[in-house]
């Protein structure tokens, strides 16, 4: 069923601006640099040293990535597990053209929060 447009009324898509995220949700995010600053102040070490530590752990050539590439599971007691999961090849449909396509099999990194982290977040 097609919608009829009223004469002289522009489509909402072009006249209204998309809503921006409220400041409260932007303030609740912590990026890598802010995490480095917090770590440096907690350990009373220089920011550069904290940044190197974060890169060694989470960076492209970091410990966690290296272990996941080897197919190993990284388990941090009280925090959670980093692991990989194999995704099978599957058929899908391009939403723009409607054309059928095949998505190749892949390996995806997954994080599962541990009980200790869940309890701390839920304040138990």
pLDDT in tens, 90-107: 999 999 999 999 999 999
Q: What pLDDT does 14 receive?
A: 52
CA 28 to chain centre: 14
Other beta carbons within 10 Å of 50: 19
What residues contact residue 6 under an 8 Å CB cut-off, 6+ apart? Answer: none
State how far the Cα of 32 lies from the Cα of 82, in Å rounded to an integer: 18
Give the pLDDT of residue 85.
95
Mean pLDDT of 25-35: 82
Helix (H, G, I), strand (E, B) or coil at 47: helix
Domains and CATH numbers, the chain: 31-61 (no CATH), 73-124 (4.10.520.10)
Please say if the pLDDT value at position 75 is more than 70: yes
Span 2-7, average pLDDT: 58
Q: Give CA–CA dist 72/82, Å, rounded.
A: 9
9 has pLDDT over 70: no
């Amino acid at each position: 069923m097609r919608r009829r447009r009223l004469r002289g009324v522009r489509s909402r898509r072009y006249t209204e601006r998309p809503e921006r995220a409220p400041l409260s949700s932007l303030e609740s995010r912590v990026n890598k640099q802010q995490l480095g600053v917090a770590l440096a102040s907690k350990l009373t070490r220089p920011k550069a040293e904290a940044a190197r530590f974060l890169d060694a752990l989470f960076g492209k050539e970091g410990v966690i990535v290296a272990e996941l590439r080897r197919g190993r599971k990284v388990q941090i007691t009280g925090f959670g597990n980093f692991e990989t999961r194999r995704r099978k090849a599957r058929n899908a449909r391009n939403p723009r053209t409607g054309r059928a396509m095949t998505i190749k099999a892949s390996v995806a990194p997954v994080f599962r929060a541990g009980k200790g982290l869940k309890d701390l977040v839920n304040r138990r």
